[in-house]
Chain A
Amino acid sequence: MSEMPGLVEHVTCLGCGCSCDDIVVAVRDGRIAEARSACPLGSAWFGDGSVPTDIRVRGAAVSIDAALDAAATMLDEARRTLVFLSIDTSCETQRAAVAVADTLRAVVDGVSSSSVASGILAAQRRGRVGATLGEIRNRADCIVFWGTDPAARYPRYASRYAPEPAGLFVPDGRRSRTLVSVDVGDARGPRDADLRLGIPVDRELGAIAALRASLAGRSLGEHPLAGLADLSRTLAAARYVAIIYDAEPGALPPEPGRAESLMALGLELNATTRACVMPLRAGGNRLGAEAVLTWQTGYPMSVDFSRGHPRYRPDEGARALVAAGAVDAVLVVGRPLGLPFAIDAARTVVVGPAATAAACAIAIDTGVAGIHEGGTAFRMDDVPLPLRAPVPGPRVAADVVRDLAQRIAARRARRS
């Protein structure tokens, strides 16, 4: 029986870190017929809204009660557990998952430690200059895309945030701004830049250092790259500079020093003008995992509770621990996709969207945060947004993880 589609407005998309919240989801027969305003990446993320709804323990379908008891037993009996915050979960689910890790004295980590750790550590050493996307949209008159064309992995960034929209202090939108494209090796910036600069991969940090020297009134050094002097002048003359780069792996050539060097450049620009440095981040509420870990433990990633309190172990994140065989149970909360480690089927519990697609001992399918369940997610600029649930799904992840936390706590209380 086909009905007229129902429309759910103001839906937040977690397909990438842009977190566009203007999506209109057309729902027909409990399925997503269309995600209007969404980019191709967003449409693919919403899909038709169908997800598996199973619960399995070692392949057999069981009740939620049996699966949670089995999971509580396995995790409680393990000597050292890894709780991994994967993508497509709400902050509410993440909060419950960190509680599980605390009770188990486990290690808790998320996707950031294996993707953007260099930027997080650089900010902790040196500080950072940031801005929310609304400031970049309304104020930035100089947009520098560093080795990054947002069109590829953040398709609506240019039209929603910068450089295209008109803003309070950039009334003519794109024409009010100077668009700079820095190409780092083969990683190209936008095609229609006003100023273009090419940097060979092996001279990237040197070029940033030369820019810093030039802005501080020193020379660009010997044999400066063509165009560097123009860029230095453009930055110095701008009212508000936004330096934007894709912080996620796979876009720019690997360069562990990039995040810190760009941050240093941004910090120094503020001596004479205003500037921010904006790492582009992928979707699925990764920033929520960092925020929740930070407020509950004090650290944004790689937290070890084994001594009964949080310890920061940025060198011993999930990937390193699993590779070293240092954990004997793993709880993945979130979608079991793109994990930085191989799942050891016998010792792994997955609670999340399409959990049962993973080869693991215990799998509990939940909805996808933002498609089947509401809650809160963070945009790439640490701005929190509400999630809607345009279509019904299986059990809510936050409820499942809270239930699991209670069962583990009850087991521990009985023993003590």
Chain B
Amino acid sequence: MTDRLRITGGAVYDPANGVDGDVRDVCIENGRIVASLPNDSPRLDAHGMVVMPGGIDIHAHIAGSSVNHARRVLSDERTADPAAAPDLLDAVGRSGTGGTVPSTFTTGYRYAGLGYTTVFDAAVAPVSARDTHAQLDDTPIIDAGFFVLMGNDAYLLQQIAAGERDRARDYAAWLLGATGAYAIKLVNPGGVELWKRNVRAVKSIDDANGLSGATPRAIMETLADAANALGLPHPVHIHCNNLGMPGNVATTLDSMRALSGRRAHFTHLQFHAYAGGADKPWASGAKELIAYVNAHTEVTADVGQVMLGHATTVTADGAVEYLLHASSGRRWVNVDIELETGCGIVPYEYRDAAAVASLQWVVGLELFLLSDDPWRVVLSTDHPNGGVFTSYPELIRLLMDKAYRDERLKGVNQKLLAGTALADGLSREYTLREIAIITRAGPARQLGLTSKGHLAPGADADITVYARDVNVATMFAMPRYVIKSGTLVVEEGQLRRAPATHRLHVRPQYDAAVMRDVSSWFDRYGTIALANYPVAPPRDAPVPVGASA
């Protein structure tokens, strides 16, 4: 593979550097963007095409024990979606299966085929870090990292209840390094531990429910502060309490207010933006929620759009999956995990004939269309929970093409849509610049990835080149070229190479005194020796942490 390449004549969308469709060359040398190249360097003709940084998925479920439990239970749906091995020039291609939770090799190939070059798994049980790394090692092309689950860790809950916030921070720092993770994830803080105790609802973020002082508020505050004090590149990543419940927008707003002034990321907002409840029907809470987000620059978020069609709900939030199983009658997997977290899985379908699914679809679009700041509200479907990542091009079309969106809106169940902003007519259409922000530059900034999501000299040469099409879904579904770390992985729309990938992880410092306490905890309650708990450090150097991050 050539070390140098000049992409010529394309319209470049590099919003991090203020480039908005300007026709210019992009030069690559040794896997990075450079300012210029000798004239005789190899060229890639991108005249008439669109050039963007490689896509970055800030929140998906692609590896780890829960994802593998989901793959296993979905044996029936994947028979309809076989994936033959690609014919690669630099590696032996591997076959696989797709469906809503594809096998590892197919996951990597399909993301790359969409022009995505970096993906984060959003929920890994600490005890499953070892197989998560192995699964990511078998996920080709894309650089990857994961967020490690801490919001229901029994040791942390005890420290928080006891007011030992410094010790909680040190433990969090140790756990990030021990698991090779990138960020701290909270899922239904406190609520998963309560589900294991057969307490099935968290009434408010100040409801201790027998967790002593470890209220959802205290958990969120402690770990938001820990992430910020450690200078992690990505702040605490929060899946709020009461996911999927009518009226939960109140909980979501309470959670945001609890962390007011603190950097924090609130994930899959769509699932947390419902009004109604009690005796009232479901309704959209999107306007109220996005107004808060627009006004508070410390908040970042991803939307978690629901796409009409098949999905699989897979989450550490075991309690909500039981309710989904009970209400839908569908198959259900629950795995309670080692005093750390949980896992629930229910295969699902968002039907356009269903009132609630239609409302969820509308709520997500409202959040996108009412967001003032694409840098802070980025694209996700919470793959595979709201929809499969291969539906991103369709989602982009819904955002960019009002006529198409209106047409689709007519086809969904209208029962709960009266009075929604979307039904009242939202005329906004995302521009290519805004799409480049919500799929590349924004996630990179939210994640603190300084060498990704943009095309200035020194950046990783992760680049996608799209041929324009009147149907933007077609354009985004089939990039003409994809370049990963300087290697041409998609050529003329065909997957041709699968270069080595990188693991994105952090290894913050901590006061080693915490380990005496942790060691005693493992002795009393663990089933694994503390010495056997940490994973081997990933090959790649950790992403720097500290005050500058």
CB of B515 within 8 A of chain A?
no
CA distance A384 to B65 in the complex (A): 9
CA distance A386 to B133 in the complex (A): 13
Residues of B within 8 A of A102 (CB): 85, 94-95
Residues of B within 8 A of A308 (CB): 84-85, 95
**Are A134 and B72 in contact (CB-based, < 8 A)?**
no
CB of A221 within 8 A of chain B?
no
Q: Helix, strand, loop or mixed for chain A's interface?
A: mixed
Pick the residue among B76, B105, B334 that contacts A129 (CB under 8 A).
B334
Residues of B within 8 A of A270 (CB): 322, 334
CA distance A384 to B195 in the complex (A): 24
CB of A139 within 8 A of chain B?
yes
CB of B298 within 8 A of chain A?
no
Nearest neighbor of B98 in chain A, beta-carbon distance: A298
Which residues between 268 and 316 of chain A lie within 8 Å of chain B, taking CB atoms?
270-271, 273-274, 276, 290-291, 294-300, 305, 307-312
**Are A126 and B335 in contact (CB-based, < 8 A)?**
no
Stretch from B15-23, B48-56, B237-245, B336-344 at the A interface? B336-344
CB of A135 within 8 A of chain B?
yes
Shortest distance between the CB of B287 and any CB in chain A (Å): 37
Nearest neighbor of A12 in chain B, beta-carbon distance: B532
CB of B104 within 8 A of chain A?
yes
**Are B339 and A168 in contact (CB-based, < 8 A)?**
yes
**Are A309 and B68 in contact (CB-based, < 8 A)?**
no
Residues of A within 8 A of B337 (CB): 131-132, 134-135
Pick the residue among A22, A130, A376 that contacts B130 (CB under 8 A).
A376
Interface size on B, as a range, is 35 or more
CB of A56 within 8 A of chain B?
no
Which residues between 303 and 337 of chain B lie within 8 Å of chain A, taking CB atoms?
322, 325-326, 331-337
Shortest distance between the CB of B531 and any CB in chain A (Å): 4
Residues of A within 8 A of B250 (CB): none
Shortest distance between the CB of A373 and any CB in chain B (Å): 15
Residues of B within 8 A of A240 (CB): 196, 198
**Are B134 and A385 in contact (CB-based, < 8 A)?**
no
Residues of B within 8 A of A295 (CB): 63, 68, 71, 103-104, 131, 134-135, 138
CA distance A99 to B63 in the complex (A): 19
**Are A299 and B75 in contact (CB-based, < 8 A)?**
yes
CA distance A299 to B481 in the complex (A): 32
CA distance A382 to B325 in the complex (A): 23
Pick the residue among A128, A130, A310, A312 that contacts B95 (CB under 8 A).
A310
Shortest distance between the CB of B294 and any CB in chain A (Å): 40
**Are A384 and B73 in contact (CB-based, < 8 A)?**
no
**Are B99 and A298 in contact (CB-based, < 8 A)?**
yes
CB of B162 within 8 A of chain A?
no
Residues of A within 8 A of B134 (CB): 91, 95, 295, 376, 384
**Are A132 and B131 in contact (CB-based, < 8 A)?**
no
Flag B507-536 by CB within 8 Å of A: 1 or 0 each. Answer: 000000000000000001111110110001
Residues of B within 8 A of A34 (CB): none
Pick the residue among B73, B128, B524, B529 that contacts A21 (CB under 8 A).
B529
Nearest neighbor of A105 in chain B, beta-carbon distance: B95
**Are A139 and B75 in contact (CB-based, < 8 A)?**
no
Residues of B within 8 A of A139 (CB): 196, 336, 339
CA distance A296 to B131 in the complex (A): 12
**Are B127 and A383 in contact (CB-based, < 8 A)?**
yes
**Are A296 and B532 in contact (CB-based, < 8 A)?**
no
CA distance A180 to B281 in the complex (A): 46
Nearest neighbor of A139 in chain B, beta-carbon distance: B196
**Are A310 and B97 in contact (CB-based, < 8 A)?**
yes
Nearest neighbor of A238 in chain B, beta-carbon distance: B198
Instruction: Using known A-B contacts A95-B138, A134-B339, A134-B526, determine if residue A310 contacts B75 with beta carbons closer than 8 Å.
Output: no
CB of B280 within 8 A of chain A?
no
Which residues between 29 and 85 of chain B lie within 8 Å of chain A, taking CB atoms?
63, 65, 68-69, 71-76, 78-79, 82-85
Q: Chain A interface (Cβ within 8 Å of chain B)?
A: 9-10, 12, 21-22, 91, 95, 99, 102-103, 120, 123-135, 137-139, 160-161, 166-169, 239-240, 267, 270-271, 273-274, 276, 290-291, 294-300, 305, 307-312, 376, 378, 382-386, 405, 409
Known contacts A133-B527, A290-B72; 17 further A-B pairs (Cβ under 8 A): A9-B531, A127-B331, A128-B73, A135-B337, A139-B336, A160-B527, A267-B332, A295-B138, A297-B97, A300-B72, A309-B95, A310-B95, A310-B96, A382-B65, A382-B335, A383-B127, A386-B536
Q: Chain B interface (Cβ within 8 Å of chain A)?
A: 63, 65, 68-69, 71-76, 78-79, 82-85, 92, 94-97, 99, 102-105, 127-128, 130-131, 134-135, 138, 154, 195-198, 322, 325-326, 331-339, 345-346, 524-529, 531-532, 536
Give me the 6 closest cross-chain CB pairs, A-B, nearest first: A134-B338, A298-B97, A309-B82, A127-B331, A384-B130, A131-B336
